Chain A
């Protein structure tokens, strides 16, 4: 690992701090690095002495937090909060990305509700037609055509509703899984 990479990782660990404070910390380690290497130390040995940049960042954040608790002036952000803070661009991107996935999902959910409604309605038509047939048939066995056509329409719309329901169900399930995976990938990356 080079010093540049080390410093980049350090800055990532302290990105929750104010910009001025971040620059002070980076400047401190940069100066220390130059002092030590100008005295004959190798880059590798200096970075080994510094330790992991994440540990250094955590120490700075932790010391700042305990100083704030003691009533000190050192501005601090808890380590967890420091990792979570995002730039406005990151937040806007996340909102846009979420909307992009949520809007189609909403359309599909509405489609499912509509299909379910159609299924219920067609079921009701079957029920009504069935009762009408049962009542009319004993008195007029010849012309049950109207009743039969009603039943037929009910069955047809039930079938359409059923097909729509199954199709929209699997489409919604697939999109919900994709949305979950995408959001998890984004949030896990941000929390690292």
Chain B
């Protein structure tokens, strides 16, 4: 798969993983594991990019005597997800055309 396309898809996957409720790094990787393999080294830049782009906000929460960073989707992040879903509808039509009769 094209590197840029994969990068974009992973960002959407991460946004989707935190859409319903905020989550933390390890849990995001675990939740995505059945659908897409993402390493710790890959997740960090994605989270930072989303955060600095305003799609995600983070906060530190005390947990078992240490601090755990939680990530929550923002309105910008929800709009980004919505835009992707709409793009996917177009993509399905294009895919049907490409695969017609095959």
The answer to whether A binds B is: yes
Which of A's residues lie within 8 Å of B, judged by CB?
24-25, 27-29, 31-32, 34-36, 38, 49-51, 55-56, 59-60, 63-64, 67, 72-74
Q: What mask results when residues 52 to 70 of chain B are scored 1 for a CB within 8 Å of chain A, else 0?
A: 1100000000001010110
Which of B's residues lie within 8 Å of A, judged by CB?
24-26, 39-42, 44-45, 47-49, 52-53, 64, 66, 68-69
In-complex Cβ contact of A74 among B26, B39, B48, B66 (8 A): B48
The residue of chain B having its C-beta at the shortest distance from the C-beta of A25 within the complex is B44
Do B24 and A64 touch (CB < 8 A)? no
The interface residues of chain A lying within 8 Å CB-to-CB of B44 are 25, 28-29, 60
The interface residues of chain A lying within 8 Å CB-to-CB of B39 are 49, 51
Q: How far is the CA of A74 from the CA of B48 in the complex (A)?
A: 7
The interface residues of chain B lying within 8 Å CB-to-CB of A25 are 44
Do A73 and B25 touch (CB < 8 A)? no
The interface residues of chain A lying within 8 Å CB-to-CB of B53 are 72-73
Do A59 and B42 touch (CB < 8 A)? yes
